[in-house]
């Protein structure tokens, strides 16, 4: 937490479970071949974190986030859950969340949403906090829409509403012991650094499509929908259209593009918008 009251996310470390015995939080809560009970998984994971917090098995931290390839569900007939967290638990027991790994840029929004729950923010809703869910800020109760009509509307997915900011501020101010004021240990990674652009350094547009639908291949960007001579290429930042390998002749579906994805000549995506940068790649032919 900065002196100005902003919350910065610092990566304390990774714990990677490589076998069934090391991941009892999911394996003990499987309800079908690729589905786990969301609430029980969160509880089991949180109990494991609490039991191992001072054993050296996990690094010191303020929030623990589990990322799983399992489909999260309250019950087998309702698999709409993509993330779950306890409300207002940071600096206390059960400061944890479970996130359904989507293998694309959507996971960023899921993880931020669940972390904010732990920091005291409820869903945006006129009935709960007075801010409309329709604007699509981070704490909207439903999955962000990847069919935005403009960069302005898409960029709200990277912003907390005034209600969320007020709730987080009030929760932190009310903590008897504010663990967020501790200075992070040397060598930890500041995840707020803008220099990391996975769309530039790790995943091209075809990679992002393949990871979304089939990590071993079968999908690619629908380039025919982005004429090089028009400004439509900029829309890739909030509407990356990918071919569905299950229906190659069907319509393309839209995904979020990672920051750093090229959207024009010396332009790249940053938080849903196509912006100019001397650091962006030189892509002749794209406006």
Q: In this structure, what are the phi and psi dihedrals at residue 276, rounded to the nearest 5 degrees?
A: -80, 145
Name 254's Cβ contacts closer than 8 Å, sequence gap at least 6: 146, 147, 239, 240, 241, 242
Q: Residue 143: which of 227, 60, 80 has the closest Cα? A: 80
C-alpha to C-alpha distance for 187 and 60, rounded to whole angstroms: 13
Q: What is the DSSP string of 49-108?
A: HHHHTTTTSS---S-EEEEESSEEESBTTB----EEE-SS-TTSTT-EEEEE--SSTHHH
Is 127 annotated as ligand-binding?
no
184 SS3 class:
coil
Is 258 annotated as ligand-binding?
no
Q: Which of 114, 134, 176, 200 is catalytic?
A: 114
Give the chain's length: 287
CB-CB contact of 29 with 146 (8 Å):
no
Q: Residue 120: which of 50, 172, 82 has the closest Cα? A: 172
Examine the residue annotation and report whether 114 is marked as an active-site residue of this protein: yes
Is 109 annotated as ligand-binding?
no
Catalytic residues: 114
Q: Which residues are annotated as a binding site for Zn(2+)?
A: 113, 117, 123
């Amino acid at each position: 937490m900065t002196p100005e009251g902003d919350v910065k996310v610092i990566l304390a470390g990774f714990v990677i479970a490589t076998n069934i015995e090391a991941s009892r939080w999911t394996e003990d809560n499987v309800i079908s071949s690729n589905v786990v009970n969301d609430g029980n998984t969160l509880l089991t994971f949180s109990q494991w974190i609490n039991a191992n917090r001072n054993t050296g098995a996990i690094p010191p931290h303020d929030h623990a986030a589990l990322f799983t390839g399992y489909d999260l569900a309250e019950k087998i007939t309702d698999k709409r859950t993509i993330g779950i967290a306890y409300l207002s638990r940071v600096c206390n027991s059960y400061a944890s969340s479970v996130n359904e790994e989507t293998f694309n840029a959507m996971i960023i929004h899921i993880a931020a949403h669940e972390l904010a729950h732990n920091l005291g923010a409820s869903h945006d809703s006129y009935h709960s906090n007075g801010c409309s869910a329709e604007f699509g800020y981070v704490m909207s109760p439903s999955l962000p829409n990847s069919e935005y009509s403009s960069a302005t509307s898409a960029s709200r997915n990277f912003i907390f509403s005034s209600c969320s900011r007020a709730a987080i501020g009030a929760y932190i101010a009310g903590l008897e012991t504010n663990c967020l004021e501790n200075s992070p240990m040397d060598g930890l990674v500041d995840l707020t650094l803008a220099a990391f652009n996975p769309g530039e350094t790790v995943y091209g547009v075809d990679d992002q499509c393949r990871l979304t639908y089939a990590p071993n291949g079968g999908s690619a960007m629908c380039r025919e929908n982005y004429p090089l001579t028009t400004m439509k290429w900029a829309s890739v930042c909030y509407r990356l259209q990918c071919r569905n390998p299950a229906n190659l002749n069907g319509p393309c579906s839209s995904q979020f593009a990672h920051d750093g994805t090229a959207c024009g000549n010396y332009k790249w995506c940053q938080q849903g918008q196509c912006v100019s940068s001397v650091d962006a790649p030189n892509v002749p032919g794209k406006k």
